[in-house]
């Protein structure tokens, strides 16, 4: 790849782009946000109130208390049937592990751009550093830098530690150890949440777990630099996560908005809580009963913001379909059978995930079956 700087003049601004990567420190110093970071007005409507979403205390459920389990299932069922979002406390994850993850993440993102680019995502891969996804998109660029890496535990290898060693080098060996522990804790919490989701849907509590036991999940560190024009830019545009379940921790700056009751609402950060949202894949696995949460991340003028997003994903080739007894109770099956491999391929190669990914994926899947019927 050509390593030279190239001057790309857009309508109003000259933008220095290095290898399709923006230098955030340069971007921030410009009077105006470059045009390709400006979002359509309909995506920028202000959130004027705070989401009153349930704060689910997992303590009793994790200790096996039947009464507590019933109450948690009821709370989660109501939240997931409306907007697909809730927060959990007493989740069993050591808070110092979260703090260490932020410290290690800061160590990476505060490096100069040329050092970050040593870990840049290669074409066709999800793993590595990305600046504004400028290598993938040419407009509505998110005002963020990300570092994404895989997590799977059907191996004795510490895959995250190995990833950091091989990609970021020995300076980040400690970061690799910290994120290995963090991802293990996320997977454990994710499996518990899969149990309570099954219970809340009236199916066997182990029904969904087998899908994830040997799946490859996605860990993503989001770093949102402060922005000189926060009213026209977005850290992450409006979208539903195509994945199954997201377990996200946000720092204390604030900026996560959820679309509920026909309006954008802010999610007040809680340092002791994880944000949990239903993704498109679980909407299909619940036969449409649970909503894939529409959300976005806004930026601000004064302070960078960080979030740690763990996306629980099923084994790529497992056939995903709603439990038969839910379909029987509902009378019709809402979605075609699919695999995570196909949905991931759709979002990485054909369609940028937004609020309509699942509908468009379904159409794409059916059309690709009719044009290329399986043998
Ligand atoms: C499977 C995935 C695609 C994205 C990362 C995970 C789950 C969330 C998706 C994403 C964050 C939704 C908004 C658009 C996106 C392009 C982004 O802003 O990063 C999406 C991710 C991606 O395609 O890399
Ligand atoms: O940073 C946030 O609060 C949200 C990020 C997000 O939605 C994502 O990475 O999918
Ligand atoms: Fe998201």
Question: Is residue 340 lining ligand 1, measured as CB closer than 6 Å?
Answer: no
Nearest CA to ligand 2 atom 9: 309
| Angle formed by the axes of helices 95-109 and 173-200, nearest 10° | 130
CA neighbor of 311 nearest in space, from 235, 216, 223, 239? 216
Cβ distance 267 to 258 under 8 Å?
yes
Which is the catalytic residue, given 305, 306, 321, 329? Answer: 305
Cβ distance 33 to 233 under 8 Å?
yes
Question: Is residue 315 lining ligand 2, measured as CB closer than 6 Å?
Answer: no
| Dist. CA 35–CA 120, nearest whole Å | 24
Nearest CA to ligand 1 atom 8: 241
Question: Is residue 241 lining ligand 1, measured as CB closer than 6 Å?
Answer: yes
CA neighbor of 94 nearest in space, from 326, 249, 294? 249
Nearest CA to ligand 2 atom 10: 241
Please give the helix or strand (H or E) that residue 72 lies within, else none.
helix 66-82
pLDDT at 375: 58
Instruction: For the beta carbon of residue 295, count every other beta carbon within 10 angstroms.
Output: 27
Where in 188-327 does DSSP place strands (E)?
217-224, 236-239, 245-250, 256-260, 263-266, 274-278, 295-297, 305-312
Question: Is residue 309 lining ligand 2, measured as CB closer than 6 Å?
Answer: yes
Question: Strand, helix or coil at 86?
Answer: strand
Measured from the CA of 306, which atom of ligand 2 is nearest? 1
The owner of tokens 């970050």 is 116
Pocket mutation for ligand 2, best pick of 222, 313, 354 (most atoms within 8 Å of C-beta)? 222
Question: Is residue 244 lining ligand 1, measured as CB closer than 6 Å?
Answer: no
Q: Which value, in Å, is the radius of gyration of the alpha carbons in the chain?
A: 20
Ligand nearest to the CA of 349: 1
Question: Is residue 220 lining ligand 2, measured as CB closer than 6 Å?
Answer: yes
pLDDT at 369: 81
Tokens of 189: 């919490």
Question: Is residue 265 lining ligand 2, measured as CB closer than 6 Å?
Answer: no
pLDDT at 204: 97
Is residue 352 part of the annotated active site? The answer reads no
pLDDT at 16: 45
Where in 19-105 does DSSP place strands (E)?
21-22, 49-50, 55-57, 85-89
| Dist. CA 258–CA 255, nearest whole Å | 10
pLDDT at 3: 34
What is the 71 CA–ligand 1 centroid distance (Å)?
32
> 37-314 — its CATH code?
2.60.120.330
| Dist. CA 354–CA 333, nearest whole Å | 23
CA neighbor of 297 nearest in space, from 362, 251, 348? 251
pLDDT at 201: 98
Strands 236-239 and 5-9: unpaired
Q: Residues 143, 236, 172, 179: what is their CA dihedral angle, to the nearest 10 degrees?
A: 160
| Dist. CA 161–CA 202, nearest whole Å | 38
| Dist. CA 103–CA 222, nearest whole Å | 13
Nearest CA to ligand 1 atom 18: 236
pLDDT at 1: 33
Sheet holding 14-18, edge to edge: 5-9, 14-18, 21-22
Q: Which residues of the chain have pLDDT under 50?
A: 1-16, 18
Strands 14-18 and 21-22: antiparallel
pLDDT at 260: 97
Measured from the CA of 240, which atom of ligand 1 is nearest? 12
Measured from the CA of 296, which atom of ligand 2 is nearest? 7
């Amino acid at each position: 790849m050509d390593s030279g700087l190239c001057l790309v003049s857009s309508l109003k601004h000259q933008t220095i782009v290095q290898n399709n990567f923006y230098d955030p420190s340069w971007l921030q110093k410009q009077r105006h946000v470059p045009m390709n970071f400006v979002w359509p007005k309909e995506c920028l409507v202000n959130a004027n109130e705070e989401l009153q979403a349930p704060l689910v205390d997992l303590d009793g459920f994790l200790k096996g208390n039947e009464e507590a389990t019933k109450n948690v299932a009821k709370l989660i069922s109501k939240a997931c049937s409306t907007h697909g979002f809730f927060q959990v406390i007493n989740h069993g994850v050591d808070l110092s592990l979260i703090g260490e993850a932020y410290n290690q993440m800061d160590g990476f993102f505060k490096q100069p751009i040329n050092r970050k680019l040593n870990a840049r995502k290669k074409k066709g891969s999800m793993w590595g550093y990305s600046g504004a996804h400028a290598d993938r998109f040419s407009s509505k660029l998110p005002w963020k830098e990300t570092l994404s890496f895989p997590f799977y535990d059907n191996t004795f290898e510490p895959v995250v530690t190995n990833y950091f060693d091989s990609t970021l080098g020995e300076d980040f060996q400690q970061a690799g150890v910290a994120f290995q522990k963090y991802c293990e804790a996320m997977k454990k919490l994710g499996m518990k949440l899969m149990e309570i989701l099954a219970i809340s849907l009236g199916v066997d509590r182990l029904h969904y777990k087998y899908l994830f036991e040997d799946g490859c999940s996605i860990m993503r560190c989001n770093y949102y630099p402060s922005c000189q024009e926060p009213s026209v830019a977005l850290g992450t545009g409006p979208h539903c996560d195509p994945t199954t379940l997201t377990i996200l921790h946000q720092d204390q700056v604030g900026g996560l908005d959820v679309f509920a009751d026909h309006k954008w609402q802010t999610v007040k950060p809680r340092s002791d809580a994880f944000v949990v949202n239903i993704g498109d894949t679980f909407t299909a696995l619940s036969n449409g009963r649970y909503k894939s949460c529409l959300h976005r991340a806004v930026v601000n003028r004064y302070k960078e913001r960080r979030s740690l997003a763990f996306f629980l994903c099923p084994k790529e080739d497992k056939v995903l379909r709603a439990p038969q007894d839910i379909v029987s109770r509902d009378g019709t099956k809402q979605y075609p059978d699919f695999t995570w491999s196909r949905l991931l391929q759709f979002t990485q190669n054909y369609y940028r995930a937004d609020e309509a990914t699942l509908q468009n994926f379904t159409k794409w899947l059916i059309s690709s079956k009719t044009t290329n019927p399986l043998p």
